[in-house]
Amino acid sequence: MTTHLGMPVVAPRGVGHLRGDRSFPAAAKDALADTQLRRNLGHATTVIRNKRAAVVAELDDWEALRRAGEAIKTATMARLDEHLQRLEEQVIARGGVVHWARDANEANRIVTDLVRATGQTEVVKVKSMATQEIGLNEALEAAGIEAKETDLAELIVQLGGDLPSHILVPAIHRNRAEIREIFLREMPGVDPELTAEPRRLAMAARTHLRERFLRAKVGISGANFGIAETGTLLVVESEGNGRMCLTLPETLITVMGIEKVLPTWSDLEVFLQLLPRSSTGERMNPYTSAWTGVTPGDGPQAFHLVLLDNGRTAALTDPVGRSALHCIRCSACLNVCPVYERAGGHAYGSVYPGPIGAVLSPQLTGVEDNASLPYASSLCGACFDACPVRIDIPSLLVQLRAAHVDANRGRRVPTPEALGMAAAAWVMADPRRFANAEKATRAGRLLGRAAGRITTLPPPLSRWTASRDAPRPPAETFREWWARERGGRS
Amino acid sequence: MKIALMVTCLADALFPDVGRATVRLLERLGHDVAFPEAQTCCGQMHVNTGYQQEALPLVRHHVEVFEPYDVVVAPSGSCVGSVRHQHAMVARRAGDEALAERAEAVAAKTYELSELLVDVLGVEDVGAYYPHRVTYHPTCHSLRMLRVGDKPLRLLRRVRGMTLVELPAADQCCGFGGTFAIKNPDTSTAMLADKMRHVLSTGAEALTAGDASCLMHIGGGLSRLRSGTRTVHLAEILAGTS
């Protein structure tokens, strides 16, 4: 692997939300014990999963669409630099300003300076993963600027002093009763008679937000797509809050990860079919907003596009791992993942949870800063089947595990696991050693002598026997039986 | 047809009945079974835990052992998945293109048991008799890596005397995942709990699957609960006679 001119850099520490403060197994242990969380997640993921399955089954050419999405992304990544330059030229030609941010710190500084220059101390935000990734709200707050989330679920998370736990449905870990409590506690002027009826909750949020939209002078968004040929940015959403933020303020600032660029409008056709069906399980999303530079007398009169790297170029240098950059943030992999469904999004410690987060976060931060995430999967493969752009997440997980193991080969004291794996490989590489090891295993028969099963084993196998019995080794292995029965016949 | 048995290290050491049943079944169908005694392990545990470098000698050994045979069968979707999807990858990552190509050739003639029976040997009724109420768990690697589809069910539906009941949420992982069960024991156990709940809801006497590893996991949970429901490998059912 080569680097040049000091690039590529991984996402810096100490800023943003790509790293957790605990390993996945430790964080998951607590989440698994939260029965309300388990119920909320189980219910929500099952509902979205079934909706997605139904609308995907309607299309005869779904597999062809997936392959087209994969092919467009692969081709785009291969010439990412050219497409980004074209995007920049077109945005500038149409009256926008383009900023390049190497990492989260640079992006936060650029956006903060831009808001400061307007003299405003309040901004409205469209739901955006990129700004969550870099911790923009915290950076703005430190500069005395209040960032107001306007997506309903982001609002719930923000009012609750919480963190998002899902890419598409950030408050998936909350149920209606919990949302009502948060609104009653945190929403100024809310009707004290508020019930947990979804319509009433939505109306309360609508009243609360409407006033913010009307007085906001600065809007901040992310982007689902950036079309290089015309310099157009797009946001795909369901609630209409995005449309308000993108059209009402005088200044619009868009933070977009560099991997979101598409060369042409005809490429978009594929993704506008893939994304809504994969994310919300809808044939078409209610609002698709597209804007190109600045239009005099219509919408924001100042437009800034911040192109964010923050580890993406580093991921691009890995010929296998780079396919994680093809992700269109639909969340289909989260909704089908048995690990996500039980442990929830916070256990991943990054704004990108679930299977895609387990392969994206370690690449953006460097694998050693998120070393437990590639192991947070049983490699069941449900994510690969659901992914609209065919990211082979299980294979990426396996490669990242190898990258982690290889990164630790230089340690002066190898881990017990590394020693065990090396020993096992040495034994298994030779049939005689292997047969002898099998004979040694037979000593385990003593453990299960009384009950015919083994209920306790020493560490690390104690982690197995904590909840499952282990099989009692047989009196005769298969190869011994074969030699006895069919001796010499192989 | 002369068929080489890749018994898998797990079945060899802990579940020899699975290997014996596979031999009995194939011989009853009129085939000649060979057991290359030099075989050890496909290296999947190493690869899936990140130890690809350590897996390389195992891949080379596997290729050398099975290269001489025309057809190889394993009573495991997971181990066949490893041969088919990982061996060449491990060799290429180590820069050994020649080994990768040999591994691909071995992979192309290696079949999971239900694939061999239905696709290669063209049988669905293997003449089995198994007078029990059984439910079937399609293991993740059989289902999503090998795409065996309903082949195991087509074989099971022809078994005489057996009541086959559908397993709810059958396509969900049982939580085994090799070292995942050790590295993430709590999440693994949560997945296992749901799988066991579904198995027990069927009222089946036995749960069957094409992988001894998944059965060891679910069976270990069912045994811990003293549930009275046992696990039995697909090969053992298909080998059963009256």
Residues of chain A in contact with residue B224, where contact means CB-CB under 8 angstroms, are: 455, 467-469
Cα distance between residue B164 and residue A443, in whole Å: 37
Q: How many CB pairs under 8 A join A and B?
A: 199
- Interface probe for B, chosen from A467, A481, A484, A485 (most Cβ of B below 10 Å), is A467
Q: What is the pLDDT of residues A207-243, one digit of tens each?
A: 999 989 999 999 999 999 999 999 999 999 999 999 9
Q: CB–CB of A343 and B141 under 8 A?
A: no
Strand B133-136 and strand B2-5: the pairing is unpaired
Yes or no, beta carbons of B16 and A477 under 8 Å apart: yes
Taking alpha carbons only, the member of A156, A325, A126 closest to residue A242 is: A126
Q: Which of A404, A431, A461 sits opposite B40 (nearest CB)?
A: A431
What's the mean pLDDT in A97-106? 98
Please give the span between the terminal C-alpha atoms of chain A, in angstroms, as a whole number: 46
Judge whether B63 is closer than 8 Å to chain A, CB to CB. Answer: no
Q: How far is B85 from chain A (nearest CA, A)?
A: 9
The confidence band for A489, taking pLDDT boundaries of 50, 70 and 90, is low
The CB density around residue A52, as the number of other CB atoms within 10 Å, is: 24
Strand partners, A444: none
Structural Rg of chain A based on CA atoms: 26
Interface of B with A in 67-96 (CB under 8 A): 85-86, 89, 93
pLDDT of residue A258: 98
Residue A33 corresponds to which tokens in the numbers above?
Answer: 């014990």
Q: What tokens were used for B4?
A: 């080489």
pLDDT at A450 over 90: no
3-state SS class at B132 = coil
Q: Find residue A454's DSSP bridge partners.
A: A470
pLDDT (tens digit per residue) in A408-448: 998 889 999 999 999 999 999 999 999 999 988 888 888 77
For residue A8, whether the previous peptide bond is cis, meaning omega lies within 30 degrees of 0, is yes
Torsion (CA) A357, A359, A361, A367 in degrees, nearest 10: 150
**Distance of CA A63 to CAs A59, A68, A70, A355, Å?**
9, 9, 11, 21
> What does the alpha-carbon distance between residue A434 and residue A480 come to, in Å, rounded to a whole number?
12
- CB-based contact B126:B117 (threshold 8 Å): yes
Within an 8 Å CB–CB cutoff, is residue B19 touching chain A? yes
Q: Is ipTM over 0.85?
A: yes
pLDDT at A112 over 90: yes
In three-state secondary structure terms, A147 is: strand
What residues contact B133, with CB distance under 8 A and at least 6 apart? B162, B163, B165, B202, B203, B204, B205, B206
Residue B116 gets which letter from DSSP? Answer: I
The model's pTM: 0.96
Side-chain-side CA neighbours of A180 within 13 Å: the count stands at 13
Q: How far apart are CA B153 and CA B233, in angstroms?
A: 13
User: In chain B, which among 191-220 make CB contacts under 8 A with chain A?
Assistant: 191-192, 216-217, 219-220
Residue pair A397/A359 in contact by the 8 Å Cβ criterion: yes
For B:95-134, CB contacts with A below 8 A are: none
Selected for mutation to probe chain B from A468, A476, A490 (highest B CB count within 10 Å) is A468
Domains for chain A: give ranges and CATH numbers. Answer: 24-313 (3.40.50.10420), 426-486 (no CATH)
Residues of A in contact with B54 (CB under 8 A): 421-422, 424-425
With an 8 Å Cβ cutoff, is B176 touching chain A? yes
> How many CB atoms lie under 10 A from the CB of residue A192?
5
Q: Percent of chain A at pLDDT above 90? A: 92
Cβ contacts of B43 on chain A, cutoff 8 Å: 425, 428
Q: Match domain B133-239 to its CATH number in 1.10.150, 1.10.3210, 2.60.120, 3.40.50.
A: 3.40.50
Q: Name the residue among A409, A467, A479 with its Cβ closest to that of B12.
A: A479
> What are A100's strand-pairing partners?
A307
Measured CA to CA, the distance from residue A159 to residue B235 in angstroms comes to: 57
In 10 A of CB B122, how many CB atoms?
7
CB distance from B168 to chain A under 8 Å?
A: no
In three-state secondary structure terms, B5 is strand
* 8 Å CB contact of A424 and B46: yes
Q: Which pair of structure tokens corresponds to residue A486?
A: 């069919």
Tens digits of per-residue pLDDT, A457-483? 999 999 999 999 999 999 999 999 999
Query: Are the Cβ atoms of A28 and B185 closer than 8 angstroms?
Result: no
**CA-CA-CA-CA torsion sign (B40, B44, B46, B47):** positive
Assign A15 to helix, strand or coil: coil
Residue carrying structure tokens 């804007």: A291
